Structure 1
Amino acid sequence: MDKRDYLVKTLSRTKRKDYENYIINAIWHKLDNMELKPVSQQYVKRKDGRHALMDLYFPQIQVAIEVDESYHKNNQEADKLRMDDIIAAVNENENNDFICLRINASQSIEAINKRIIEVITIIKDKASRTQLKWLTYEEEQSQVRQQEYLSIFDNVSFKQITDIANSVFDKGYIGFQRSGFRVSDTLWVWCPKLSVIVDEDAKSAARGWLNFLSDDWTYIDESQENQTEDERMALIKDDFRLNKERAVFANYRDSLGIKRYRFVGIFKSSGLSPDNKNYIRYSRIDDKTKVFRAGVLHEEHGINKPND
């Protein structure tokens, strides 16, 4: 999606129109900076563990804008978070420079416009102290390849599993159809479709497999609809024997409905789930994974080449 189409879609998807729509578009146009990338309807995980919806967010400078209008306030608690929203959420606790600017839309138009100017001044000041560049997807992937580690706190996602394999693990794949692959003797990549609860009933998103990621990303509970207890125990024993770890890239849809994969951590089997013995519990053991770059000897790290 090019910059023009992205902006049109992003700035036209305000969840509650009217005042919010006026304020968000006024801010964007008055900023007049085509290198500053806006994200609308961005969920943020607060320091208290709750999620809040930001009406506009600028990830490059970590500035969020929340429009307060009476309808919004009265219905915010009724909003039901999708798993997609949780995965794509910005973690306020890990962004030391994160600030949230509020605008009260119930005031007079003069007061609203005065506050808009105040917000724009703050954004411009912070943007002036940051080297801004609206990266294309290819440039984002190139940036990942230059990092030493990929962290769960990095604001980066992948369109395809092939991109994960090549940008993070230097696999050199042309195409890839499966939901995971082996990286080393002990590390696998796993790209699960996450399940949801509908009317207190678990719904599979992947041929009978049920994968539930906790809200804080610290564990995944997995089961298969026709799986027996003996089969679960056999999988657990096999994981323990191999000392198997999983770099997990959760499959979700972003704010524009585009399928993405996001790194949520390194996980390892810890046995049956204490919450439900029909599930295997995978607990997060690390919030980052090493990025393997071209030129690094694969043998040093036990990394398998594409034909392994």
Structure 2
Amino acid sequence: MEEKTKIKYISEMLNKRTKGKDYENFVINQIYARVDNPELEIVTQKCVRPTKGIDTKNLTKVGKNHYLIDLYFPQINLAVEVDEGHHENIENQLNDKQRENLIKGSVSCDIKRIKICKPGTKIPQEYDDIIQQIKKMVVEIKGKISEWEKENHQKLKWITNDEKIERVKKCKVFDACKAIHFGGITKVLNLLSETKNYNKYQRCVKKFDIYSIWIPVLSVRLDDGTVKTANGWKNFINESEDEISEFPSSKSYKKGLDTYKAEDGSCPPKWGTRKRVIFMKMKNDFGDDCCRFLGVFKPDHIEYEGGKQKRIYKRIATTIAFAEIVRKS
């Protein structure tokens, strides 16, 4: 994952991410320029994963059940949607309402809209009318910044992901609540070691005496019921991110994995001894591969589906010190 300077990050967010979306690009750039606060973090095309219980069958999808927010300010938790002509369609307006519910259920943010076209048409409004909406939005954003600063007794400060990683290096603790994006297992292992270089390490698991670092590739269940996996292993995480289910691959069974099944649901000795420090593979806001720390998990129990193991790991901690991970038994 490429480390981005602040100016490169902003440039790509304001231009590359909205390429080909002329009105949206214009509105977003106008808002950012008029707010004129370099400490305000921006995310364009913010990817949101839906929560359960929302009817999403008629919504525009990105991949599997992912949706995009045009402009998002994470520090003040405000989203801005730029509604072009197709949003004036009655059916699409109903979809927009569903989509708002989905986003609020996932991110719990305020959502504001800027209308590009005249009501009920695909005819763009006059320039001055759109600018007035933008000015009103800018006033609201500045107001939310003031509220944030008053509540937190400090000036707004944009802390980049790289700066967050530097803080992790200093405190030498992984914390799931920080939501920091790491570049992959090599980056994680290099944080732990001050002497050894892990740049050529390619496996998703690294074993230490008491713990294992594990960065599983999560499986995706498609609409037709089939499951996309990595190397045949199926890994699923629950919505609260505190339980992971792991189905070993068919190759593992051929190697004799099924010879130590525990039909009573207890943990086989070969499986249930080492705790796992788990990071989840994901994409950052630019679509780059990265991983995020989920916590410390322990083998909990085994279930069986179709005669095969389903291993359950449950989270026991959301923080762990570097020294604890590499501690000798």
Give TM-score scaled by structure 1 length.
0.72
Provide the residue aligned with 1:181 in structure 2. 206
1:238 is paired with a residue whose SS is: coil
1:55 aligns with 2:70: yes
1:237 is paired with a residue whose SS is: coil
How far did residue 124 of structure 1 move?
4.1
For the 8 Å contact 1:160–1:261, the answer to whether it is kept is yes
Aligned counterparts of 2:20 and 2:112: Cα–Cα separation in 1: 16
The 1:110/1:58 distance shift into structure 2, 3 A limit, reads closer
1:250 is paired with a residue whose SS is: strand
Q: Alpha carbon RMSD of aligned pairs, Å? A: 3.9
Provide the residue aligned with 1:156 in structure 2. 180
Alignment of 1:297-308 (within 5 A): 298=323, 301=324, 303-304=326-327
How far did residue 258 of structure 1 move?
0.7
1:217 is paired with a residue whose SS is: coil
How far did residue 201 of structure 1 move?
0.7
1:201 aligns with 2:226: yes
How far did residue 102 of structure 1 move?
1.5
Aligned counterparts of 1:268 and 1:223: Cα–Cα separation in 2: 16
Provide the residue aligned with 2:234 in structure 1. 210
What stretches of structure 2 of length at least 5 have no aligned partner?
55-65, 120-128
What stretches of structure 1 of length at least 5 have no aligned partner?
80-85, 94-98, 293-297
Provide the residue aligned with 2:112 in structure 1. 102
For the 8 Å contact 2:298–2:316, the answer to whether it is kept is no
Alignment of 1:67-216 (within 5 A): 67=81, 69=83, 70=87, 73-75=93-95, 92=107, 100-105=110-115, 108-109=129-130, 111-126=132-147, 129-135=154-160, 137=162, 139-147=163-171, 149-167=173-191, 169-170=192-193, 172-175=195-198, 176-185=201-210, 187-198=211-222, 199-205=224-230, 207-216=231-240
Alignment of 1:221-236 (within 5 A): 221-226=245-250, 227-228=252-253, 230=258, 233=261, 236=267
Aligned counterparts of 2:97 and 2:261: Cα–Cα separation in 1: 40
For the 8 Å contact 1:236–1:271, the answer to whether it is kept is yes
Aligned counterparts of 1:64 and 1:279: Cα–Cα separation in 2: 44
Identity of aligned residues (%): 25
How far did residue 63 of structure 1 move?
2.6
Provide the residue aligned with 1:253 in structure 2. 283
Choose 27-36 or 270-279, whichever is displaced more. 270-279
Aligned counterparts of 1:55 and 1:182: Cα–Cα separation in 2: 41
Give the count of matched residue pairs: 280
The 1:202/1:110 distance shift into structure 2, 3 A limit, reads same
The 1:277/1:63 distance shift into structure 2, 3 A limit, reads farther
For the 8 Å contact 2:14–2:29, the answer to whether it is kept is yes
Give TM-score scaled by structure 2 length.
0.68
For the 8 Å contact 1:219–1:283, the answer to whether it is kept is yes
Provide the residue aligned with 1:96 in structure 2. none
Which one of the candidate residues 260, 268, 271 is aligned to 1:237? 268
Choose 127-136 or 261-270, whichever is displaced more. 127-136
Which one of the candidate residues 25, 31, 42 is aligned to 1:27? 31
Amino acid at match of 1:303: V
Amino acid at match of 1:204: T
Choose 257-266 or 217-226, whichever is displaced more. 217-226
